[in-house]
Structure 1
Amino acid sequence: MNAAQSRFLLVAMSVLALLFLYAPIVSIVIYSFNESQLVTVWSRFSTKWYAALLHDDQILRAARISIEVALLSATGATVLGTFAGYILSRFGRFPGRTLFSGLVMAPLVMPEIIMGISTLLLFVALEAAIGWPHRDIQTIVMAHITFATAFVAVVVQSRLSEIDVSIEEAAADLGARPLQVFFLVTLPLIAPALMSGFLLAFSLSLDDLVITSFVSGPSSTTLPMVIFSKVRLGLNPEINALGALIILFVGVIATIATFRTIFADWRGKRKVETATA
C-alpha cells in the first residue's frame, strides 16, 4: 500500500467514524422540525413541537431541576476535585497516599448501579438515625458530587503535572506564603483545567440517570428521568425538539468555555512572564 492509498484509507475511516458519531445527532435536529406525529416519517417543516415543548410544564420543571443540580454538583466537585488533584500532585509520598488515591479514583471504575445503591443505603441510614437528609435535590447533588469529583481530580492532577514546580518555588522564595502561592500562582495556571473539570462535572450531572433514579425523591424528577419515562411509552416528537435544544445549549457552552480556556491560559502565562521578568 503506497502513501496515497494510506491517506485515502485514513480519510475514509475518519469520515465513517464521524458519520457514525454525528449522524444520529443530525437526524434528531432535522426531525425536530417535522410536523408529523411519527418521528421517523417526514411530512413537512414545522416548529410546532418546540412550541409544545415550551408549554410542557413537566419538562420545564425537570429541566430547571437538572440545571440547578448540575450547577451545584459541578461547583462542589470542582472545589473538592481541585484539592484532591493538588494533594496527589504536590504532596508526593505521604502515609495513606495509595488509599487516598484509590478512594478518590474509585468512582471512575465503579458501576453506576453500585454507586446508586450504596448512596441510597447511606441516605436512608442517615435519615433514620438523625432525620437528614430527605430524598430530594440535596441528595441528588451530594451523590453527583461524589462521582464527579474523581473526574475533576484527574483533570487537575494532569494539568499540575505539566506545570514547572520551580515557578511556585520561586514565589515562595520571594516571600509568598503557601496560600498566596496557590491563589496567585498555581490557581491562574490551572484555570483552564478548572474550567474543563467544571464543564465535565456539569455534563455528567446533567446526563446522569442511574444514580439519580436511586437517590431522587417524588418532587425532584430530573430531565433524564422524564425523557426515559416518555421514551418507554413510545417515541415522542417533543423529545426530538428537546434533544435539539440540549445540543444547542451544550454547543454554545462548549464554544464559550473553549474561548475562555484559551484566554485564561494566555492570561496565566502572561502573569507568570510578568512576575519572572
Structure 2
Amino acid sequence: MNPSHRLSTFNITTLALGLAFLYLPIVILVIYSFNASRLVTVWGGWSLRWYFEFFNDQAMLDAAWMSLRVAVTSASLATLLGTLAALALSRGADFTGRTLFSGMLYAPLVMPEVITGLSLLLLFVALGAGRGFWTVTIAHTTLTMCFVAVVVQSRLTSLDPTLEEAAMDLGCNPARAFAAVTLPLILPSIAAGWMLAFTLSLDDLVIASFTTGPGSATLPIRIYSEVRLGVKPEINAICTLVIALIAAVIIVASLAAKLSDARGESGAPL
C-alpha cells in the first residue's frame, strides 16, 4: 500500500470525532425516544410509550400529514420546474436574459430565509390569498426549485450532446430523442433533486411560519411550539420517525439507482 494512502492515527481520530459530532446527537435522540421516563434526561427503561402518545395526539398527526402533503407536492413541482430551468440554462446558452434568469433562479440559494418568507408573505397579502396549504407549497417550491436546477444542470453539462444528435440522425424528433436518450441519463439526478427538495421542505420552519395560516401548521412549527414549553419525550419519538422516513427514502432511491444501472449494463451492446 502506498504510504501516502495509509490512514494515520491523526486521520482516524479526526474522522471519528467528525462522525461523532454529526451523528452522536442523532443516536442519543433515537435511544431516548424509547425512554419510559417522562423526564427526557433520566433513563427509565425501554418503552414504546411515546410512540403511542404520538399516534394518539391528533394535533401532531394533523401537522405531520400537512408536512408530508406539502413536501411531496412542493418537491414534485420543484423537480418539474427546476428540471425545465436546468434544460433552458444548459441548452439555451445564448438566449436573451439568460443572466437575469439564472440570477433570479439561484437567488434563494443565498437569500436569507427570513427575507424570502417575508417577501412571500407580503405577496400573498397583496394578492388577498388565504394562507394555508397552497401558500406553504408555493413558498417551498420557490425555495427548493433552485436546488433541483443546480443538481440537474450539473448532470446535463457533463453529457455528450452528440448522443441526442445521433438519435435525431436516426429519425427521432427532438422530443423523442430527449425522452429516449437524455431523460434516462439524467433520471438519477432528477431523483436526487426530488429527494433534496422533499427533505428541505420537510425540515423548513422559517418560511413556513410566514406563509402558513390557522389550521395548516406544519410539523416543524408544531414541534417548535411544543419545545418552547419544554422538551417532551414525545418529540424524540416524532423526530425518530422523521429520521426513519428520510432513511427509507434514501435507501429506496439508492436501490432504484442500482437497479437502473444494472438494467443499463445488461442492455448495453457487447
Q: TM bucket by the smaller chain? A: over 0.9
Structure 2 match to 1:174: 170
Runs of 4+ in structure 1 over 3 Å off: 2-6, 265-271
The answer to whether 1:211 aligns with 2:207 is yes
Q: Tell me whether 92-101 or 152-161 shows the greater mean CA deviation.
A: 92-101
**TM score, norm. by length of structure 2:** 0.95
Q: Secondary structure of 1:92's partner?
A: coil
Q: Secondary structure of 1:258's partner?
A: helix
Give the superposition deviation at 1:190: 0.5
Structure 1 match to 2:251: 255
- 1:270 to 1:176, Cα distance in 2 relative to 1, 3 A: farther
Q: What amino acid is aligned across from residue 255 of structure 1 in structure 2? A: I
Structure 2 match to 1:12: 13
- 1:177 to 1:125, Cα distance in 2 relative to 1, 3 A: same
Structure 2 match to 1:68: 69
Q: How does 1:127-146 map to 2 (within 5 A)?
A: 127=128, 133-146=129-142
The answer to whether 1:164 aligns with 2:160 is yes
Unaligned 5+ segments in structure 1 are 128-132
**Aligned CA-pair RMSD:** 1.7
The answer to whether 1:239 aligns with 2:240 is no
Residue 149 of structure 1 contacts residue 201 of structure 1 at CA under 8 Å; is this kept in 2?
A: yes
Give the superposition deviation at 1:240: 0.6
Structure 1 match to 2:126: 125
Give the superposition deviation at 1:256: 0.7
Q: How does 1:191-206 map to 2 (within 5 A)?
A: 191-206=187-202
- 1:269 to 1:135, Cα distance in 2 relative to 1, 3 A: farther
Q: Deviations over 1:87-108 (max 9, x none)?
A: 1112222221111111111111
Give the superposition deviation at 1:172: 1.5
Structure 2 match to 1:25: 26
Q: Tell me whether 252-261 or 72-81 shows the greater mean CA deviation.
A: 252-261
Residue 53 of structure 1 contacts residue 59 of structure 1 at CA under 8 Å; is this kept in 2?
A: yes
Q: How does 1:46-125 map to 2 (within 5 A)?
A: 46-125=47-126
Structure 1 match to 2:149: 153
Residue 192 of structure 1 contacts residue 262 of structure 1 at CA under 8 Å; is this kept in 2?
A: no
Count residues in correspondence.
Answer: 268
Q: What amino acid is aligned across from residue 191 of structure 1 in structure 2? A: L
> 1:9, 1:62 → 2: CA distance?
45
Q: Secondary structure of 2:258's partner?
A: helix
Residue 192 of structure 1 contacts residue 265 of structure 1 at CA under 8 Å; is this kept in 2?
A: no
Structure 2 match to 1:222: 218
- 1:267 to 1:134, Cα distance in 2 relative to 1, 3 A: farther
- 1:89 to 1:266, Cα distance in 2 relative to 1, 3 A: farther
> 1:265, 1:175 → 2: CA distance?
26
Q: Secondary structure of 1:40's partner?
A: coil
- 1:51 to 1:90, Cα distance in 2 relative to 1, 3 A: same
Q: What amino acid is aligned across from residue 125 of structure 1 in structure 2? A: A
> 2:222, 2:135 → 1: CA distance?
18
Q: What amino acid is aligned across from residue 94 of structure 2 in structure 1? A: R
Structure 2 match to 1:42: 43
Match of 2:260 among 264, 267, 273: 264
Residue 148 of structure 1 contacts residue 201 of structure 1 at CA under 8 Å; is this kept in 2?
A: yes
Structure 2 match to 1:130: none
Percent identity over the alignment?
50
The answer to whether 1:187 aligns with 2:183 is yes
> 1:225, 1:34 → 2: CA distance?
24
Residue 188 of structure 1 contacts residue 268 of structure 1 at CA under 8 Å; is this kept in 2?
A: no
Q: What amino acid is aligned across from residue 206 of structure 1 in structure 2? A: L
Q: Secondary structure of 2:138's partner?
A: helix
Unaligned 5+ segments in structure 2 are none
Give the superposition deviation at 1:173: 1.4
Q: Deviations over 1:203-237 (max 9, x none)?
A: 01111100000010101110000000000110100
**TM score, norm. by length of structure 1:** 0.92
Q: What amino acid is aligned across from residue 28 of structure 2 in structure 1? A: S
> 1:126, 1:30 → 2: CA distance?
47
